[in-house]
Chains A and B, each alone.
Chain A
Amino acid sequence: MSEPSTGGRTRDFASVLAEVKPEAERLLAEYPQRRSALLPILRAFQNVEGWLSPEAMSVCAAMVGEPLSVVESTASFYTLFYRRPIGKYMLQPCRNLSCTLRGAEPIMAHFRERLGVEHLQTTDDGLFSYEEVECLAACDRAPCMQVNLEFVFDLTADKVDAILAAMREGRYEVAALPQSAVPAKSWLVTQAPAKRSPGALRVASPDAPGGMGDRSGAQMVERLVEDPYPVVVRPTRERLVTDGAALLANDRDLAAVARDVRPDGAS
């Protein structure tokens, strides 16, 4: 079960915004085009809030004058932006090609086993957030990972165990990340599926009639109008021709004739 995006917050967004705003305004003034300030403003929000909340991304969009889709696209590209509250240590092993060829898969399996979490999850004690990320551009020392903002190269299972132990004992040295919300283990933030659009372009059933074949007038008119007109009958051709002149002269006459020749004889 995923939690609402405001869950776990220890600080309300209004105060975050108040703190970031002056910096954002300074950044906006620095570039000839507003959109150039997008990355630094996203950074400014993350530095204060510890992650990029949906509110922060919406505000960034308004600030730089870009659609939210573009801001989300940009933020999602970078491993350094966290789109969910994170734990004390952000562990990001690389899962891409070079690292995989050099044994990233068993390393990641080892991580998952030792931490008891999956990709994008945080341990219950809030100590570790875990993300399997795309190429970190450190392929020459594969397999590698990033811890908070620093690289760790040439990973082995033993090295992972040593790092985790050091972290648990508080003797692992790495710059702390800002935090303003308690991460939750279950906080699995994935791309929310687009809302289902009911009734939109329903796919026609395969048996929808293609041919317009034969159908009686009554059936046809029933389909033509929601409030079907009274009775529809099919006068025979002969009848219409023989009584032609009279029929054409007077609506009432034809109606009468039509009633007479009602095929099923009902009245």
Chain B
Amino acid sequence: MTTLPKEVTLSIDGLPVTVPEGTLLVEAAKAVQTDIPVYCYHPKLGPAGLCRICLVEIEKTPKLQIACNTVVAEGMVVRTQGPKVEDGRRAVLEFLLLNHPLDCPICDKGGECDLQDYSIAYGQGMSRLAERKELKPKAIDLGPTIVLDDERCIVCQRCSRFDEIVTNERSLVVKDRGQRDVIATATGAPYRSNFSGNVTELCPVGALTSKTYRFRSRPWDLQRTRTTCQQCSVGCALNVDERHGNVLRTMSVPSDDAVSEGWLCDRGRYNVGFYADERRITSPLGRFGDEWVQLSWDDAIELWATRLEEALASAGSASIGVLGGGRLLNEEILLVRHVMRALGIANVDWRTGRQRQASPGARGGTYDDLENAQAIVTLGRPPSQSAPVMDLRIRKAVLRNGARLISIGAHPASSFVPATHLARLSDLAGTLAEVERIAFVWDGIDAALGAEAEAALAKLAAEGKHVSVFVPGETPNARGAEALGLLPAGGALDTRAQLEAARGGTLRILSIFGANPVLHHPAGAAFVREALKRVPFVVATDLFLTETGRLAHLVLPAKAAFEKDGHSFDLTGAVHAVNAAHGAPPDALSDGEVMIALAAHLGIDLPSPRELADWATASPATIANGLGDAALCGSLAPARDGAAGLRLAIAAHPFAGGGTVYFDDRLGELRPRPGLLLSPATAQAAGIGEADLVDLAAGGRVLHDLVATLDGNALEGVVTIVDGLPEAPANDFGEGETVTLGNVRSSRALAGSVV
């Protein structure tokens, strides 16, 4: 039984307002649509009472009060406007502007600056300061993404409170006092966070700016389109600001409470440079022998259709394979499936990487379930790597609701909130006795482990506990690809079987939709390359000529996420609209458009747009509730080696991958360098020091020159490497494999010889 909160009635600007007890005046005022100015207050960060701009008049209280930190009371009579209030705000602004540089003409915030806006509304227009203004550092390189201007800062502390309350990373602080106070990090430390971009949006003035957007545009010149981020499977709402055909910045959607709560990770925010990268494929390319020929779309489609017809006639549909789809929108996935089914092709599999399953099954949870869980258990890769903004929810559950965070296996959970670690799933039994609501986050990679987890969760559920399951997708719309059926049904060939068939010479055609199995499939680069080389005709759609595309015979220029309309699922199965925000290169077509062209060529009837829309926006539960078919999942996980030695853990990284990140030069050092992560004790035992260069080997496969990083949060006896780096592809290695480290060279000894 929840008791209804008591309500309080008060009067704001003469209008009666009834709100729940405990509401802050600044929030109650929203009910009568009166705008109380705020700087330090932010609905997601709560009151701080630092800036005093929110002054209001309350009857029977002699002095003006701050609306952001005053709780409503029964019968309160509040005036948010009027001479007294305005004079108070004028005085506050006079102090805020005392030392302010008034850089407006060259300030990126100009036009959307709260200091400008409230100065117009309440300021006095002239400064009475006769003394010299306080001078402070400008254009400080705060870290890889952010530039700080101390003079513009009004020390509202939104940025440092975000870094404390929301991320718990606590590297941004206020230093010094009085007129000298500045925002800073620990001496000499750069501000590094995967959520750094959010502070540029929280900053009410132009003190914190993104390197990617500095001096690029005025806000009124930007054209804004709301869409859904397609960089990972969390599904954050996103505003794309574009000008003259260039994506200039992306901004969060503050009202997106269901998913992102108004935050974005830096991958989603900053990985937009690839849209205009010179290396994008801008027309269909045919490879004939070792020559590349630029083709027209008509010829390209004709070539593909003809090849399909030939293969169907001579070797049947079993000789045709289809891979990929986890990056496509729901409509595109449906079209791929429709065309392939019409041709009788069943060898279809979206799973071109390590992930075997992207559906949570019958216990799929919502983000609210995650936030309200009393215990959050992560199995496999932690969501901080693969679903960053979802990790903020987890941090919130831990920090504000006191949830317990437990990680299992070779990957410790996020290092920013307290967590416990268990070696095995079986250790979990008994630790959750007092917990009612459990959220379980699995990376979907090791199917056997998933089945084991499912059994454990079923037991917990049988005890009456509320269990919700989350499986972050390895690709943004993995959930959609799976729910909408890009899977090998009825004994058809999955990815590995297709690759094996290719090596055996029985696969005649392979069509790959926005996927790069050479870099990502756990069979290993050499295996996949060899397979692709034996297929007489490989078609690949992509933005760039990837490792896989180079082995294709026909490469088709695809549209990127901001260039097409449709829908996608987030990892909880909620459907989101994706809207074109940006013009595609003239000759690029979305995979959906390509399918329409192919269908037309092959005389295949397409579903009506209405039908397509219905399916694309249905909930995955109504389509098929998860996969639930262990046989279909199979286990690709390499045999676990029980022998003593170092165990390999393969991690994800928000800025890894050979796709869009690799083709965005601006991302610079945010991209992980090929390296390995060890606990200090493990490193010591192996004779490895921080930043040493190391070779990692297992069964004849070697990764050279990995830079060692020692991390107190890493597990003993585990070596962690990052998946998906073109410079050091990890897909030749299996999770849990025993590896050896050798050829250790001190980076210091090398430093002299290198530079």
A194 near B668 (CB under 8 angstroms)?
no
A67 near B179 (CB under 8 angstroms)?
no
The answer to the question of B33 belonging to the interface, with a C-beta cut-off of 8 Å to chain A, is: no
B189 near A194 (CB under 8 angstroms)?
yes
Q: Which of B129-170 contact A (CB under 8 A)?
A: 131, 137, 140-145, 170
Complex: A252 Cα to B288 Cα, angstroms: 7
A96 near B184 (CB under 8 angstroms)?
no
Annotate B288-316 by CB proximity to A: 1 below 8 A, 0 otherwise: 11111111101100110011000000000
A194 near B291 (CB under 8 angstroms)?
no
Q: Which residues does chain B contribute within 8 Å of A124, judged by CB atoms?
A: none
B187 near A200 (CB under 8 angstroms)?
no
The answer to the question of B667 belonging to the interface, with a C-beta cut-off of 8 Å to chain A, is: yes
Q: Which residues does chain B contribute within 8 Å of A73, judged by CB atoms?
A: 173-175, 184
The answer to the question of B182 belonging to the interface, with a C-beta cut-off of 8 Å to chain A, is: yes
Complex: A100 Cα to B188 Cα, angstroms: 33
Closest to B215 in A: A203
B278 near A192 (CB under 8 angstroms)?
no
The answer to the question of A258 belonging to the interface, with a C-beta cut-off of 8 Å to chain B, is: yes
A69 near B179 (CB under 8 angstroms)?
no
The answer to the question of B506 belonging to the interface, with a C-beta cut-off of 8 Å to chain A, is: no
Closest to B95 in A: A97
With contact pairs A194-B190, A200-B143 given, residues A248 and B306 touching in the complex (Cβ less than 8 Å): yes
Q: Which of A204, A241, A251 contacts B273 (CB 8 A)?
A: A204
With contact pairs A194-B189, A220-B283, A232-B293 given, residues A237 and B212 touching in the complex (Cβ less than 8 Å): no
Annotate A46-79 by CB proximity to B: 1 below 8 A, 0 otherwise: 0000000010000000000011111011001111
The answer to the question of B569 belonging to the interface, with a C-beta cut-off of 8 Å to chain A, is: no
B283 near A72 (CB under 8 angstroms)?
no
Interface-central residue, A193, A220, A230, by most chain B CB under 10 Å: A220
Complex: A212 Cα to B178 Cα, angstroms: 52
Q: Which of A69, A211, A232, A258 contacts B245 (CB 8 A)?
A: A211
The answer to the question of B28 belonging to the interface, with a C-beta cut-off of 8 Å to chain A, is: no
B178 near A203 (CB under 8 angstroms)?
no
Q: Which of B142, B175, B245, B665 contacts A194 (CB 8 A)?
A: B142
Annotate A191-207 by CB proximity to B: 1 below 8 A, 0 otherwise: 11111111111111000
With contact pairs A67-B171, A225-B550, A229-B292 given, residues A203 and B212 touching in the complex (Cβ less than 8 Å): yes
Q: Which of A198, A212, A237 contacts B280 (CB 8 A)?
A: A212
With contact pairs A192-B188, A204-B212 given, residues A197 and B172 touching in the complex (Cβ less than 8 Å): no
The answer to the question of A265 belonging to the interface, with a C-beta cut-off of 8 Å to chain B, is: no
Q: Which residues does chain A contribute within 8 Å of B306, judged by CB atoms?
A: 248
A237 near B296 (CB under 8 angstroms)?
yes
Q: Which of A200-227 contact B (CB under 8 A)?
A: 200-204, 208-213, 215-217, 220-221, 223-225
Complex: A68 Cα to B189 Cα, angstroms: 10
B666 near A76 (CB under 8 angstroms)?
no
Q: Which of A79, A220, A251 contacts B282 (CB 8 A)?
A: A220
The answer to the question of B185 belonging to the interface, with a C-beta cut-off of 8 Å to chain A, is: yes
With contact pairs A134-B180, A248-B303, A258-B293 given, residues A199 and B285 touching in the complex (Cβ less than 8 Å): no
Interface size bracket, B side: 35 or more
Q: Which residues does chain B contribute within 8 Å of A211, judged by CB atoms?
A: 245
Q: Which of A67, A195, A200, A225 contacts B145 (CB 8 A)?
A: A200
B282 near A232 (CB under 8 angstroms)?
no
B188 near A195 (CB under 8 angstroms)?
yes
Q: Which residues does chain B contribute within 8 Å of A194, judged by CB atoms?
A: 140-143, 185, 188-191
B299 near A237 (CB under 8 angstroms)?
yes
The answer to the question of A135 belonging to the interface, with a C-beta cut-off of 8 Å to chain B, is: yes
Complex: A66 Cα to B544 Cα, angstroms: 45
Q: Which residues does chain A contribute within 8 Å of B121, judged by CB atoms?
A: none
The answer to the question of B611 belonging to the interface, with a C-beta cut-off of 8 Å to chain A, is: no
Complex: A213 Cα to B276 Cα, angstroms: 11
A248 near B293 (CB under 8 angstroms)?
no
The answer to the question of A234 belonging to the interface, with a C-beta cut-off of 8 Å to chain B, is: yes
* Interface size counted on chain A using CB atoms at 8 A: 64
B292 near A217 (CB under 8 angstroms)?
yes
A252 near B289 (CB under 8 angstroms)?
yes
Q: Which residues does chain A contribute within 8 Å of B667, judged by CB atoms?
A: 201
Q: Which of B187, B281, B668 contacts A202 (CB 8 A)?
A: B668
Complex: A66 Cα to B169 Cα, angstroms: 11
The answer to the question of A155 belonging to the interface, with a C-beta cut-off of 8 Å to chain B, is: no
Closest to B278 in A: A223
Tell me the minimal C-beta distance from A147 to chain B in angstroms. 19
Q: Which residues does chain A contribute within 8 Å of B246, judged by CB atoms?
A: 210
Q: Which of B140, B281, B291, B298 contacts A224 (CB 8 A)?
A: B281
Q: Which residues does chain B contribute within 8 Å of A182, judged by CB atoms?
A: none
Complex: A135 Cα to B181 Cα, angstroms: 12
The answer to the question of A109 belonging to the interface, with a C-beta cut-off of 8 Å to chain B, is: no
Complex: A208 Cα to B270 Cα, angstroms: 16
Q: Which residues does chain B contribute within 8 Å of A149, judged by CB atoms?
A: none
Complex: A54 Cα to B191 Cα, angstroms: 19
Q: Which of B137, B171, B280 contacts A69 (CB 8 A)?
A: B171
Tell me the minimal C-beta distance from A258 to chain B in angstroms. 5
Closest to B245 in A: A210
Complex: A199 Cα to B190 Cα, angstroms: 14
The answer to the question of B704 belonging to the interface, with a C-beta cut-off of 8 Å to chain A, is: no
The answer to the question of B73 belonging to the interface, with a C-beta cut-off of 8 Å to chain A, is: no
Q: Which residues does chain B contribute within 8 Å of A199, judged by CB atoms?
A: 668-669
Q: Which residues does chain A contribute within 8 Å of B290, judged by CB atoms?
A: 229-230
A interface residue numbers (CB < 8 A to B)? 54, 66-70, 72-73, 76-79, 95-96, 100, 105, 134-135, 191-204, 208-213, 215-217, 220-221, 223-225, 229-235, 237, 240-241, 244, 248, 251-252, 254-255, 258-259
Known contacts A204-B666, A229-B550; 4 further A-B pairs (Cβ under 8 A):
A68-B186, A76-B175, A191-B187, A255-B288
**Can you sample 7 A-B contacts with CB below 8 Å?**
A68-B187, A134-B180, A194-B142, A200-B670, A203-B211, A224-B545, A251-B288
B interface residue numbers (CB < 8 A to A)? 131, 137, 140-145, 170-180, 182, 184-191, 210-212, 214-216, 244-246, 270, 273, 276, 278-283, 285-296, 298-299, 302-303, 306-307, 544-545, 550, 553, 585-586, 665-670
Please list the 5 inter-chain residue pairs (A to B) with the smallest Cβ-Cβ separation, ordered nearest first: A134-B178, A217-B294, A200-B144, A212-B585, A73-B173
